[in-house]
């Protein structure tokens, strides 16, 4: 059983000179870690959804650089950078929407450029720092987000923005963990989150582990839940946030934001500043990953749709900034984000804007 102070769920672990990833495709029926020793294996694991969640993907990619550099240095110390570049590119293209992936890889670049001797120890130290910084940021966001919840009530979340999606503790679930411990959240409603069922398989599992009351609902039931006045906040994570505050998150988030605004339910996005991409002016420029048709046509290997059906399967949608009431980062809370407020939070440390 996890405690509020020390959740034991860890999606990403560096152990005995290798990377261990909790295979999230098997949860909640089986807890199995994959042990990875090469950069190619890490890129494949990210692409195949062994690990998911923008912060966790970034941390994983950083460790992937360590594994790739170790192999290429051992193979040819004179040309390791050139060989490493191919693995770097493979990691960078493994999931196109999560900006944390590129952010983490770019943090490794100066070390790659500077090192004249074996780079592995310095790269590993940087990957560990990225990992530890993420956990610290999640705990800070948990405090900041819980502080604005107001009176006790229930909340709705979508996908999984928990310890499994991050270095530990979680973004949206970090706020929920802190809020529940403070007596501000009495129940969590979790969307099942088709087609990968991250809400059913992952979020509900995390909350049960944490003894936080959780009720699962079909994605299509969320608007009716709000109509009945059952929730006060929708709390979600993010995979990329544009300079104006538009938010890319798991498909289905946009519909929740529209329903929340109509029903007077507040909408909170919780994400570290590594998720903010100031190079993109608004959400129309965020690349949206299209995934395989099989994800909708089959379930557990069994067909669930008529043969010959065509599929549109975007992994993410974009929620306009005007539908976001509060954006919680480790640097503070941005109320009703816009370009000026986003530029401010990215440029200076502050508690609120």
Task: Out of 87, 239, 246, 325, pick the active-site residue.
Answer: 239
Q: Which pLDDT belongs to residue 8?
A: 66
Which of 95, 115, 136 is at the close of a domain?
Answer: 136
Which of 104, 136, 168 is at the close of a domain?
Answer: 136
Q: Which pLDDT belongs to residue 32?
A: 97
* 278: CB partners within 8 A, 6+ apart: 243, 342, 343, 346
Judge if 106 and 161 occupy the same domain: no
Q: Which pLDDT belongs to residue 352?
A: 41
Which of 136, 167, 189 is at the close of a domain?
Answer: 136
Mode of pairing for the β-strands spanning 316-319 and 247-250 = antiparallel
Cα dihedral value 163, 167, 172, 178, nearest 10: 70
| Partners of residue 250 on adjacent β-strands | 316
Q: Which pLDDT belongs to residue 98?
A: 87
Is residue 202 situated within a structural domain? yes
Contact in structure between 122 and 111 (CB atoms under 8 Å): yes
Q: Which pLDDT belongs to residue 1?
A: 34
**What parts of the chain have a pLDDT lower than 50?**
1-6, 349-353
What is the DSSP code string of 31-63?
--EEEE-SHHHHHHHHHTTSS-SHHHHHHHHHH
Mode of pairing for the β-strands spanning 326-329 and 316-319 = unpaired
Which CATH number does the domain housing residue 99 bear?
Answer: 1.20.120.420
Cα 121 to its chain centre, rounded Å, is 27
Overall number of domains in the chain? 2
Is residue 1 situated within a structural domain? no
Is residue 332 situated within a structural domain? yes
Q: Is there a catalytic annotation at residue 134?
A: no
Judge if 131 and 153 occupy the same domain: no
Q: Which pLDDT belongs to residue 261?
A: 98
Q: Which pLDDT belongs to residue 300?
A: 87
The tokens describing 193, both together, are 């989150």
**What range defines the domain where residue 193 resides?**
141-347
Helix (H) or strand (E) holding 153: strand 153-157
Judge if 122 and 241 occupy the same domain: no
Is residue 221 situated within a structural domain? yes
Backbone φ and ψ of 82, nearest 5°: -65, -45
Which CATH number does the domain housing residue 294 bear?
Answer: 3.40.50.10470
Q: What is residue 314's three-state secondary structure?
A: strand
């Amino acid at each position: 059983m996890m405690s509020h102070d020390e959740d034991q769920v860890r999606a990403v672990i560096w152990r005995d000179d290798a990377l261990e990833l909790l295979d999230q495709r098997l949860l909640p029926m089986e807890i199995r870690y994959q042990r990875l020793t090469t950069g190619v294996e890490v890129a494949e694991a990210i692409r195949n959804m062994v690990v998911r969640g923008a912060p966790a993907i970034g941390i994983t990619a950083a460790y992937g650089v360590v594994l790739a550099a170790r192999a290429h240095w051992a193979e040819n110390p004179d040309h390791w950078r050139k060989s490493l570049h191919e693995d770097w590119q493979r990691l960078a293209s493994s999931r196109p929407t999560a900006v944390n992936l590129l952010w983490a890889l770019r943090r490794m670049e100066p070390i790659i450029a500077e090192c004249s001797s074996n780079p592995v120890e310095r790269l590993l130290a940087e990957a560990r720092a990225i990992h530890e910084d993420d956990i610290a940021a999640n705990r800070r966001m948990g405090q900041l987000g819980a502080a604005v919840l107001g009176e006790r009530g229930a909340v709705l979340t979508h996908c999984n923005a928990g310890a499994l999606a991050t270095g530990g503790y979680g973004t949206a679930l970090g706020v929920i963990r802190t809020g529940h411990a403070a007596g501000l959240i009495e129940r969590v409603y979790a969307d099942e989150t088709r087609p990968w069922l991250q809400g059913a398989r992952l979020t509900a599992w995390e909350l049960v582990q944490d003894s936080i009351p959780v009720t699962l609902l079909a994605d299509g039931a969320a608007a009716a839940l709000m109509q009945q006045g059952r929730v006060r906040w929708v709390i979600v994570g993010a995979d990329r946030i544009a300079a104006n505050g538009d938010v890319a998150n798991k498909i289905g988030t946009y519909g929740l934001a529209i329903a929340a605004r109509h029903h007077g339910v507040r909408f909170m996005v919780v994400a570290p500043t590594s998720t903010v991409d100031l190079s993109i002016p608004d959400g129309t420029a965020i690349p949206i990953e299209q995934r395989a048709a099989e994800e909708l046509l089959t379930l557990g290997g069994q067909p669930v749709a008529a043969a010959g059906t065509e599929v549109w399967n975007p992994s993410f949608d974009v929620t306009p900034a005007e539908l976001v009431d509060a954006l919680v980062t480790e640097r503070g809370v941005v109320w009703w984000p816009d370009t000026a407020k986003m530029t401010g939070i990215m440029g200076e440390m502050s508690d609120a804007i």
